Structure 1
Amino acid sequence: MQNTKIQDQEGFKSVYFKIADIIMELVVPFQVEITSCLPSFRNFIVKDIQEPPLIKTKLSFSLPPENKKITKLLSDVSIVWGDRFLFEESSEHYIVSVQSENKDRRGTKMYSKKDFKESVIYMEEAELSVTSILSWVLMVAFGQAIIPYKAVLFHASVVVQGDKAYAFLGKSGTGKSTHSRLWIEYLEGVKLLNDDNPIVRIMEDGKIMIFGTPWSGKTPCYRNMRVELQALVRLSQASENKWKNVEGKEALVSVLPSCTAIRWNRFLFNQMVDSLEEIIRKVRVGQLLCLPDKDAAYLCSQKIINNK
């Protein structure tokens, strides 16, 4: 067994997280208190691991290396960070940059290898207490690095009833969180698993499991648990409640926009699509035109649970 007790490593220490049964190592300056700067990760900390971590990240307060290599701008659009965001590619790395709201600070940069399994995050220590940027860039790296392990980071709200989970997909503002709340309010024995970024994974036995994560949007729901996924439902706002079963290509098109994989890395993107094709063969997929009312929750539950 590898000993993972926190020890001074020339001013750094290692902390380990287990998310979706995948171990990530985060190396941070020794003075950093993880539960203060990453409170949503508290339930995912592990003290001992049985094997080397699959994903390694390091946080440094030093200046990022001077970039003398040619980079290609891939994106400068971010819902979260607006025009303060850049995503670039060099011959060896993907580079994520987020400018600080404080003009006197240098902002944050993350250099990741092309498979995202190793990353270094450069930021000022003062940023840890005033922004969620560290959690966000860890999600970016983790969400890409897990793809070869048949795991996909979804943008979804997920509820659990009994031993099954149901994930609601859709564009931002569609009403995913509202629909989850309707299930919790009007249906018996329902609880929230995650309200923004769960992970769906194909396990070795072929079962499709969905996991809570440290990333749950504005809703503080950080459950370190896994549940068998029963259905994926894409929501659309409408003037009436109407259900449609979808399969094959139509099902893939329904779930693909809610999945996290950078389109510029064809290897990772194709692996994610392969996993999605297996997931939709084993998990029911539906489309729900809906109002934000209890009848929508009843209709959805009857279609995917009672198969009516």
Structure 2
Amino acid sequence: MEKTFKYDVAGHLFEVILPDGISADDFLGPYIPFSSGREDEPLFRLRLEYSADLKNTVPGTVRECLNDEAPYFWIFDKDGKFNFGFSYTRSHPDCILIPSDDFRDNVVYVPAARKERLTEFSLSNALMLLYTFCTTPFDTLMVHASVIKHNGGGYMFLGRSGTGKSTHSRLWLENIDDTELLNDDNPVIRVTDGEAVIYGTPWSGKTPCYKNESLPLKAVVRLSQAPYNKIVRNMPLQAYASLMPSCSCMRWDRSSTDALHKTVEKVISRVACWHLECLPDADAALTCHSAVTR
């Protein structure tokens, strides 16, 4: 008999339906802090099914295989409808996500022979995609960033992969009092009641930091490596160009992209955005802290 588990991330409710004999504790550990007893209708559902032969789950014609490193993201076109896949390599998808037309009721298929290795991987990636798509119309952004809690506010660090977002957060933790890591990879921003709020999520990359907490977002800082430490506040156009590339979105879907643009505009009109050129040293954290908390 199937079991249903409910989770609430940034006020958005969703359900995961697991087959009999599969433990949520084993494969959905990061989601435990986000467990919910809400009785209202979820934004979306995801059902896990094991397939004896994934090749028989025909998702359509491959349109793209994205990302420079794992997890690789596959997009399939089946008679004008998009299906998706995720994998550890670019050779073939390791699981297949078949969404309903409205993305409300969805199924992720995982090879039964590899369920121990692929169940958590498949659920996590499918849930991130569905969450991003379904919450975008509700002033919500999933951002590739690292976030520090400090003096009752959230400070978000952006940058390309390898720039040093996690390193900069660690430097705050080591050198600035009253600091704590909120999320190290995929926090969520939601604009609610006129305020931009930053939320912890079950998606924190390689750092196990799954906190069901939220704070007012106080600053957005884009990092770039340099042989010196210098921070400058962005003008509105610069702020938009800084935040936009770090936001997750199905950019081929016009309605999602339009909603994303509007939410980014709301965030940058409420939150100071900065550009920090920096070294990976304590002075970088102190320079940043001095400016953004002024």
Q: TM-score when scaled to structure 2?
A: 0.91
In the alignment, structure 1 residue 87 sits paired with structure 2 residue 75:
yes
Q: Which residue of 2 is the match for residue 45 of structure 1? A: 35
CA apart distance, 1:183: 0.5
Over 3 Å counting, the alpha-carbon distance change for 1:158 and 1:126 in structure 2 is farther
SS at match of 2:66: coil
Alignment of 1:128-207 (within 5 A): 128-131=115-118, 132-203=121-192, 205-207=193-195
In structure 2, the partner of 1:285 is: 273
Cα deviation, residue 137, structure 1: 1.8
Aligned length: 289
What does residue 97 of structure 1 align with?
A: 85
In the TM superposition, residue 220 of structure 1 has moved relative to its aligned partner by 0.6
Does residue 23 of the first structure (1) align with residue 13 of the second (2)?
yes
Retained in 1: the 8 A contact 2:196–2:216? yes
Change in CA separation of 1:297 and 1:106 when aligned onto 2, cut-off 3 Å: closer
| Partner residue in 1 for 2:232 | 244
1:95 aligned counterpart, secondary structure: strand
What is the letter of the counterpart of residue 165 of structure 1? Answer: G
Structure 1 unaligned runs (5+)? 1-10
For 1:7, the equivalent position in structure 2 comes to none
Cα RMSD after superposing both structures: 2.2
**Aligned equivalents of 2:25 and 2:214: distance in 1?**
22
1:239-296 Cα deviation digits (max 9, x unpaired): 1111111122211100111000021111101101100000000011001000001111
The match for 1:235 is 223
Q: Hey, what's the Cα distance between the residues in 1 that align with 2:103 and 2:180?
A: 33
Match of 1:32 in 2: 22
Work out the CA distance in 2 between the residues paired with 1:277 and 1:43.
31
Question: How far does residue 126 in structure 1 lie from its aligned partner after superposition?
Answer: 4.7
- Of residues 111, 123, 126, the one that matches 2:98 is 111
Matches of 1:296 and 1:264, distance apart in 2? 37
The runs of at least 4 aligned residues of structure 1 exceeding 6 Å deviation read none
Deviation at 1:110, TM superposition (A): 0.1
| Structure 2 unaligned blocks of 5 or more | none
Q: CA 1:106 to 1:147, structure 2 compared with 1: closer, same or farther past 3 Å?
A: closer
Q: Check whether the contact 2:17–2:46 (CA below 8 A) recurs between aligned residues.
A: yes
2-structure distance, mates of 1:100, 1:169: 25
Q: Please give the alpha-carbon distance, in whole angstroms, between the structure 1 residues aligned to 2:68 and 2:103.
A: 21
**Distance in structure 2 (CA, Å) of the matches to 1:148 and 1:213:** 18
Residues 210 and 115 of structure 1: is their aligned pair in 2 closer, same or farther, counting only changes over 3 Å? farther
8 Å contact kept, 2:86–2:125: no
Q: Following TM superposition, by how much is the alpha carbon of 1:58 offset from its aligned partner in structure 2, in angstroms?
A: 1.0
- 1:197-252 CA distances to partner (integer Å, 9 max, x unpaired)? 0000011x111111101110111100011111001100000011111111222111
Is contact 2:50-2:115 (8 Å) kept?
A: no
Which residue pairs with 2:3 in the alignment? 13
Amino acid in structure 2 at the alignment position of 1:245: R
The TM-score, its normalising length taken from structure 1, stands at: 0.87
Matched, 1:266 2:254: yes
C-alpha distance in structure 2 between counterparts of 1:230 and 1:303, whole Å? 12
CA distance in 2, matches of 1:214, 1:259: 17
Percentage identity across aligned positions? Answer: 33
Q: CA deviation at 1:127?
A: 3.5
Match of 1:124 in 2: 111
Give yes or no for contact 2:250–2:257 (8 Å, CA) kept in 1: yes
How far is the alpha carbon of 1:85 from its aligned partner?
4.4
Measure the CA separation in 1 of the matches of 2:290 and 2:241.
23
Distance 1:148 1:118 in 2: 18
Cα deviations across residues 31-85 of structure 1 (Å, max 9, x unaligned)?
1101101211111112x214111111111114667548x6460x21223436x64
